[in-house]
Amino acid sequence: MAEAHQAVAFQFTITPEGIDLQLSHQALRQVYLSGLRSWKKRVTRLKNNVITGVYPASPSSWLFVVIAILATMYTRSDPSMGLIAKIQEHLPQGCIQIIQKCRTVVSAVLFSTLLWFSLIFTMRLCLKQLLSYHGWMFEQHGKVSNTTKIWAAMVRIFSGRQPLLYSYQGSLPNLPVPAVKDTVKRYLESARLLMSDAEYERMTTLAKEFESSLGNRLQWYLKLKAMWASNYVSDWWEEYVYLRGRGPLMVNSNYYGMDFLYVTPTPIQAARAGNTLHACLLYRRKLNREEIKPVILNVPLCAAQCERIFNTTRIPGEETDSLIHWQDSEYVAVFHRGRYFRLWLYHAGRMLSPREIEHQIQHILDDPSPPVPGEAKLAALTAGDRIPWAQARKEFFSSGVNKRSLDCIEKAAFFVALDDDEQGMMGDDPAGNLDRYAKSLLHGKCYDRWFDKSFTVVLYKNGKNGLNAEHSWADAPIMAHVWEYVMTTDCFQLGYTEEGHCKGDVASSLPPPTRLTWDIPAECQERIERSLAVAQTLADDVDFHVLPIQDFGKGAIKKCKISPDAFIQIALQLAYYRNRGSFTLTYEASMTRLFREGRTETVRSCTSESCTFVRALEGGESKEVCRHLFRTAAEKHQHLYRMAMTGGGIDRHLFCLYIVSKYLGEESPFLKEVLSETWRLSTSQTPLQQVELFDFVNHPDYTTCGGGFGPVADDGYGVSYIIIGENMINLHISCKHSCPQTDSHKFGADIKKALMDLLELMSPEKPDPSRAEQNHLKNSKKDL
């Protein structure tokens, strides 16, 4: 409606008497308030940039330095050791006497400012060096060395107070480049157990040849990039792993997040949409103001990925896609029954209340207009292969009404899908419905999600919600942080009336949502159908199972004095071995956000230690032997995870060396074989980051279910898991129906059985009451 307001704000007619100018005061007021909001955001952004730019100091510290320098000058001492006089000599000669008298003060202020900037630079440099220390990660739990204690004290000294979201960005260290020989050695160690003797000998030969010849040359270029760029991995990872992928984003790349498992706060779809969208806006406002606290894991984590959460779209290209981010967007694009709408989220310079958004969503739900030809399944273009979508976009959406409507979707804050289906853990088959709920969020009907948007909020007819997120702009923990805030704000802060509606009133002057218009020719409709056929085949092949485990959780695992993540990863190895009778290359995602612009690294969870333990357990070895082997495997896994987090991983380094070799036109048989390996077991943990927002004691039913992703390999599994509180673990397992060796439900049962077996193995043995009674009788006889 903003364009409409602007169009009617000025009306004029030419008459014989002259020009009759008419002004719409209501429209002018809307334009004024919209501009005022934009200027407020610019001022806030400028203020935050200044605060972040001088961190760990504060802007007020400049005044303190100036006053201190001027005070020392009045005591007839020169703290600058002659620099103030040198600055005064180079100041222009003024004609006015007052300016002449102030030249000394101006020189002192300039010197104070230079000193202030020097102190900031020194503090940042010291903080950067301190944050480069990762020895604390490798120390045993509860045993902190003196070095780490001194380091922690120094970090507190050089860290400023009340940091904003991006305050630490300039102080984070760069991701280090490991030595080629170290990476090759770690790779060969990880590959040994999955290769025969002949295969391993051949790979060792290739690795030694690479290390002694081409590897050093590629490493030189990589070190050069590491000196120049903020992160030597992230830009290539984003481009070559995500943006250059020509297959469908749906299932293959995008992932999903679920609603509360047991609770639906309201059965009214429009009301749930009102609170959910308003909570998203509240998060975006906190993000724009940098009021979100930086994530601290003893040291701060990089927040660069947060910049593109909202107002971001992936644009298809024939060779490579591109990510476009806009500074602001005041509306969302909404899909319902094959129609597209623009829903403005701001009116009269303010954010719409949840009740007003509910009113607007209900207006869309009640709209009886049918979709125009080709509109209903238009989004299937984003679900299919990228090249046909790029060609169709260029041919049919580069001008006219189609371009304007497509621009409206791509420039929206995010995408909203209003589904007519009911989903959730409900009915006579709650487990099966939970699986169907996951599949619906992952791919829907293949034409009711805009898979190119940074994320799509899905709202079902029965009030359930969820999201589908595009992967290239950020990793899952970033979107999980948003969704945790949205879910808890929806239920615990905004709330609903007794009838299930949003709280608040509706402004009478609220303009209705705008229907987007399209003119889609028959040829484009044929391409839409072809993309839909590709996407539908992919979606139908996905076998999905969501498994909530309530028998035990983190609390029971910690009593075994084992890392919960290592415990689950070894259980996955045991389950896969029982499921397939062999071991496989396993991918576990680990974050590298301890470094600037860090994203992820691979932990190769299938180790020789874990395989030795699994074989011993399945071979009937004694409990004492199995326990020892299990602890050894868990410690090895924890070591690999810490190495990955601190820049000592394997796969990102080899990936970047491979990219350099392609730029140089060099062929490396070693790198080619490494990067062609198949990850048949791809795993990822979704961490619960804002535990303080949940109350599992007083509100145990308000339990998040986490999220999941599609299988990476056609003959493998994708496993996502989230540890909830002390007594629950949720698993999301995916595979493909087309592979006869995979079954998500059977593998889920194998994982649960493996977890229970490991818990029984590692739990402290309870004393046998009968044996204790016999010992008591023996001791009594001795006493007699």
Alpha-carbon span 512 to 361, nearest angstrom:
9
Per the DSSP assignment, residues forming a β-bridge with 309 are none
d(CA 183, CA 221): 16
339 sits in which H/E element: strand 339-344
Q: CB-based burial of residue 427 (10 Å sphere; 0-12 exposed, 13-18 middle, 19+ buried)?
A: exposed
Q: How far apart are CA 211 and CA 670, in angstroms?
A: 10
* Ranges assigned E (strand) in 598-674: 600-604
Q: Which residues contact 784 (CB under 8 A, 6 or more apart)?
A: none
Angle in degrees, 0-180, between the axes of helices 522-540 and 430-443, rounded to the nearest 10: 140
Q: How many residues does the chain have?
A: 784
Q: Is 446 left (phi over 0), alpha (psi -120 to 50) or beta?
A: left
For 367, the token pair is 């709209």
Q: How far apart are CA 222 and CA 653, in angstroms?
A: 9
Q: At a CB cut-off of 8 Å and minimum separation 6, what does 733 contact?
A: 544, 545, 546, 547, 708, 717, 718, 719, 744, 747, 748, 751
Annotation marks residue 471 as catalytic: yes
Spell out the SS3 assignment of 565-612: HHHHHHHHHHHHHHHHCCCCCEEEEEECCCCCCCCEEEEECCCHHHHH
Q: Which of 673, 605, 662 is nearest to 207 (CA)?
A: 673
- Which of 278, 359, 471, 732 does the annotation list as catalytic? 471
Q: Are 411 and 428 in contact (CB under 8 A)?
A: no
Give the end-to-end CA distance of the chain in Å, rounded to a whole number. 97
Q: Which two tokens stand for residue 744?
A: 């998500």
Q: What are phi and psi of 297, to 5 degrees?
A: -120, 70
Helix, strand, coil tally for the chain in percent (to 5): 50, 15, 35
Q: What is the Cα–Cα distance from 250 to 709, expressed in whole angstroms?
A: 10
In the block, tokens 């029982």 appear at: 578
Classify residue 760 by burial, with Cβ atoms within 10 Å: 0-12, 13-18, 19+.
exposed
Instruction: Give the integer Cα–Cα distance in Å for 290 and 162.
Output: 11
Residue 366, classed as helix, strand or coil, is helix
CA–CA gap between residue 175 and residue 648 (Å, rounded): 10
Q: Quote the CA–CA distance of 708 and 254 in Å, as a whole number.
A: 9
Of 385, 402, 384, 401, residue with least CA distance to 393? 402
568 and 721 in contact (C-beta within 8 Å)? Answer: yes
Place of tokens 């905004």: 494
* 197-212 and 214-228 helices, crossing angle to 10°: 60
CA 585 to the chain's CA centroid = 24
Contact 113, 83 (CB under 8 A): no
Q: What is the dihedral of CA 122, 125, 131, 132, to 10 degrees?
A: -140
Is there a cis peptide before residue 56, judged by omega within 30 degrees of 0? yes
Question: Residue 125 carries which side chain, given as an amino acid letter?
Answer: L
Contacts of 678 (CB under 8 A, 6+ apart): 585, 713, 716
Q: Known catalytic residues?
A: 471
